[in-house]
Chains A and B, each alone.
Chain A
Amino acid sequence: MKAPAMVIGLGSPDRGDDAVGAAVAERVRTVVGDGVEVITREDPTALVHAWHGRHVVVLVDSMISGVAPGTVTVRRAGTHDAPLPTYAFAAAGRGGSHAFGLAGAVELSRTLGTLPEHVAIVGVESTNFGHGPMSQPVAASIDDAVAAVCAELADAGVATKGSSTKASSTKGSSTKGSEAGTCV
């Protein structure tokens, strides 16, 4: 029997927009049912073994790419996908633990053979990593990010509590569906 799909919220809950990974994961936990394991992690090196043996993983993290704050972007990073660009993890393992980020964990995992076949990274464009709460655009994007996670699970064929609901309506989905306990 395959290990259940996993949703991982990555980031520090105390560092502004970096909290979005855990916030989205906690919301996803309430809507996906028992068929999906939901965890949160602060240390990216933990991913290399945490997802080992899984077939489908959806990971949520804050991201800086230059687009508008709050924008949700999905990137695939599984075994069949192209390696992440070198610049994204060049410092990994060279700058101490501070520079070991998600991209470093993906590529180290690929090298060690622990990378799952399906890995989707749901990134939420962020601006503020100081102590304190999330910025307004990022907090307002949580619903979109939850929808994106659910869409990725559905796309990978993972049955969730509300998977009868179409997964295509990711953009602009309301919290209503989440409150009703469905994966919108």
Chain B
Amino acid sequence: MTHQLKDGGQVLNVGMLARVEGEGGMHIEIKDRKVVSVKLNIFEPPRFYEGFLRGRKYTEPPDITARICGICPVAYQSASTEAMETICGVTTTPEIQLMRRLLYCGEWIESHALHIFMLHAPDFLGYDSVLEMAKDHADVVNMALRLKKAGNDVMELVGGRAIHPVNVKVGGFYRMPTLTELEGLVPDLERGLEDALAAVQLVATFNFPEMEQDYNYVSLRHPDWYPLERGTEIVATSGVRFPLAEVGEHIKEFHVEHSNALHASFDGEKYFVGPLARYSLNFDQLSPRCQEAALRAGLGQTCRNPFKSIIVRTVELAYAFEEALRIIDLWADGHAPSVPVAPRAGEGIGASEAPRGTIWHRYKIDSDGVILDAQIVPPTSQNQASIEADLRLAAQQWVDLDDHTLTHRCEAAIRNYDPCISCATHFLDLRIKRS
């Protein structure tokens, strides 16, 4: 919607930003063809998870925090279990870690498949929704649904449930799936890998607006593999790197008036988490097959065009299928599903790479395991400042486009981040004001 203001200014207003997880708003003000104000408004009331974790037992966060999001519950479960195990001085077995990674692959697959094909692809193919896209691209939508189902099946088998898994506990799992059960997933995962690799080349044929930013990418890093369920340190394109335990010294949360989701800064500056950051900081850890697919699709070893995040996300989708198959191939029955974790007073951090970017949890517990303090920092809230920076650049770069086209371009710029406003807190609606 466009509003003409008395001073000659103009407001473009979109009541609800489409094709993102959750709802919220955006306000862009343009005066004399200059963008003067950009605000990502998140006005959903805070959800108080951190508050009501206090006083609960140290074993409860995997189940409680999983309820923050139906798309990325494993991200919360992984970060919270790691934090508690760190505090309690427990190291789980390599098999438990492998199974956690497999569960996380399931989450990446279902989340990435949903966003790439059903929420993001319509931007590039010129449709308002996947329902309209399906009329002309039924094969792509059918493939997307197959891929998503393959991810859901992994979640259901390993996590006990496709949405909000119930099989995860501090120390491991309640039950390990059997090799026979896991092997039942293989045909769909193999087909999914082939489909995802082909999809990398497909999405690379989309037309991408020319836009690059000098982002400070931030991601987990692990010496042995591409970061999913955990990493040993945090790295940034600025050259800063530090052990996970020091994250609170570098990343600070703060409140801004126009958002109910806390913003965050990295050494005092805005930063960017998510697939583009992971990819650009961990390209060397991708499998040779995924590296080759990425390069063949025209990506370099880093990518700074946010619209090309759809290609990177599809590379990660293929990687998740490949990893899931690798883990199942390595699996043997007979491993303990969990290790005991006795409470110990202390404070600790856990982090993982949610589909949308780095998430970290900090907990403080007493010697009885009662939670004294909790901090949950999800990716979308960390990305708010980068989203606003992209909107500022996009609106300025395309200021001469008509309002409808500019509004659409700005919405697409937000969708580049696959924002989960439900995680950040909840809501969005979009306004552009011109004068």
A contact residues vs B (CB 8 Å cutoff): 12, 14, 42-43, 45-46, 48-49, 89, 92-98, 104, 107-108, 111-113
Contacts and interface: CB of A to CB of B under 8 A. Distances in A.
Interface residues of B, number: 31
Interface string B14-27: 00101111110000
A107 B162 CA distance: 23
A98 B21 contact: yes
4 pairs of A and B residues whose beta carbons are closest in the complex = A93-B129, A93-B130, A94-B18, A96-B21
5 contacts: A93-B19, A93-B122, A93-B130, A95-B18, A112-B141
B204 interface: no
Given A42-B162, A46-B149, A49-B146, A95 B130 contact: no
Interface stretch (B79-87, B131-139, B259-267, B281-289): B131-139
A142 B118 CA distance: 35
A143 to B, nearest CB: 27
Given A45-B145, A95-B16, A97-B21, A108 B163 contact: no
B315 interface: no
Given A12-B163, A42-B163, A94 B149 contact: no
Please report whether the interface of chain B is mostly helix, strand, loop or mixed according to DSSP. helix
Contacts of A113: 138
Interface of B: 16, 18-23, 70-71, 114, 118-119, 122, 128-131, 134-135, 138, 141-142, 145-146, 148-149, 152, 162-164, 422
Given A93-B131, A96-B19, A45 B148 contact: yes
A92 B145 contact: no
Contacts of A112: 134, 138, 141-142
Contacts of B134: 108, 111-112
A46 B16 CA distance: 25
B356 to A, nearest CB: 12
A48 B145 contact: yes
A22 B427 CA distance: 29
Contacts of A12: 163
Given A43-B163, A46-B149, A97-B114, A111 B19 contact: no
A49 B131 contact: no
A94 B162 contact: no
A32 to B, nearest CB: 23
B121 to A, nearest CB: 11
A49 B163 CA distance: 18
Given A12-B163, A45-B145, A49-B146, A94 B19 contact: yes
